Structure 1
Amino acid sequence: MGTLQHIQHQISALNDLIKINNDRITGYQKAIEGTEDVSLKTVFEGYADQSKGYVNQLNDYIHLLGGSPADGTTLAGKFYHTWIDVKSAFSKKDSHSILSDCEYGEDIAKSSYRKALDDKELIWEDEKVVSLLTNHLSGLKIAHDAIKALRDSTALNEK
């Protein structure tokens, strides 16, 4: 793979991560709308802001590579958020189910970052992108574990 192809691959892969983060932001915005719990709203706002920060960092890196950052979401994310809307229209949205949906979104984000870090063409001779993605993945793991712990604690409290 030549240098230009490598850069184009990097831009494409990083744009995919922007879309994943945009999916995550949308998911947390839906979670905020779906709960009355002020403390959960604060948690969800924090994780939406985290992804906004990740998007800004990815945008900056794509600009550095000479590319144009994506601004949309993934097709799978659109389907998932539509499913959540339909599901919530027909069922009670308790904290446990909202947190379960959020945990699912965190699993998708973590998986996407792991795949990116396993992509040898993306990370080839580029310690900056490895560091950036590793830092993001670390934050996503912490968020996932916190959401899971909240979900588990609400399961006990709502029974």
Structure 2
Amino acid sequence: MNTQKKIQHSLNDLIEIARDGHGFYTEAAGKVKDAELAALFTRIAGVKQDIVARLSATVAATGGTPAEHGTLVGSMQQFYGKVRAALGDTTYGYVSELEESEDRLLKAFNETISDEDTPAAARAEAQALLPSVRECHNVMRDRKQVLKHAS
């Protein structure tokens, strides 16, 4: 696989996972009753949208086609979050599933950065976005812990 294709493949994986997160956060923001939590979800959805836009621009700059959809795993997580919310555990259900989504995205970023086969341009873009990914991950991890101990 040539470098151009490898960059596109590496970054498109990240685009798909970030797109999953954007969709899930957007939906959750409209479902939770807590205004502060809805605002947090909306803010993080915006971060995911920025990640998708930046990575898509990098893929396009290499002559590739940015991923336009999310992943099957992301769709399943979103479905599971909806089921939990429907069963009455709205806040914790969404926070828990969103935190797992953050784990998935952070893991994918770390793998892209540490993979010796990842081209320098893809690694550099992933490293530039990593602080935002970590921050969202930590916010949701902490929020989940607070909710877990409150119940």
Task: Report the TM-score, using the length of structure 1 for normalisation.
Answer: 0.86
Deviation per residue, 1:107-144 (Å, 9 max, x gap)? 01001111111222223xx2x43232113222111111
How many angstroms does 1:69 deviate by?
0.8
Matched, 1:42 2:39: yes
Q: Secondary structure at the match of 1:122?
A: coil
How many angstroms does 1:70 deviate by?
1.0
Task: Report the TM-score, using the length of structure 2 for normalisation.
Answer: 0.90
Structure 2 CA distance for aligned equivalents of residues 75 and 88 of structure 1: 20
Structure 1 CA distance for aligned equivalents of residues 142 and 85 of structure 2: 22
| C-alpha distance 153-80 of structure 1, shift in aligned 2 (>3 A) | closer
Percent of paired sites with the same residue? 21
Matched, 1:132 2:125: yes
1:155 counterpart letter in structure 2 = K
| Structure 1: tracts of 5 or more residues without a match | none
Structure 1 CA distance for aligned equivalents of residues 144 and 84 of structure 2: 18
Deviation per residue, 1:43-63 (Å, 9 max, x gap)? 111111001111111111111
1:105 counterpart letter in structure 2 = S
Structure 2 CA distance for aligned equivalents of residues 95 and 103 of structure 1: 12
Deviation per residue, 1:82-128 (Å, 9 max, x gap)? 22223333x112423321111111001001111111222223xx2x4
Instruction: Specify the structure having the higher radius of gyration (Cα).
Output: 1
Matched, 1:143 2:136: yes
1:78 counterpart letter in structure 2 = S
Structure 1 CA distance for aligned equivalents of residues 75 and 92 of structure 2: 22
1:131 counterpart letter in structure 2 = A
Structure 2 CA distance for aligned equivalents of residues 94 and 33 of structure 1: 11
* 1:61-76 correspondence runs (5 A): 61-76=58-73
The answer to whether the 8 Å contact 2:85/2:93 transfers is no
Aligned residue for 2:108? 112
Structure 1 CA distance for aligned equivalents of residues 49 and 131 of structure 2: 16
Q: Secondary structure at the match of 1:150?
A: helix
CA root-mean-square deviation: 1.7
The answer to whether the 8 Å contact 2:8/2:59 transfers is yes
| C-alpha distance 93-30 of structure 1, shift in aligned 2 (>3 A) | farther
How many angstroms does 1:156 deviate by?
3.8
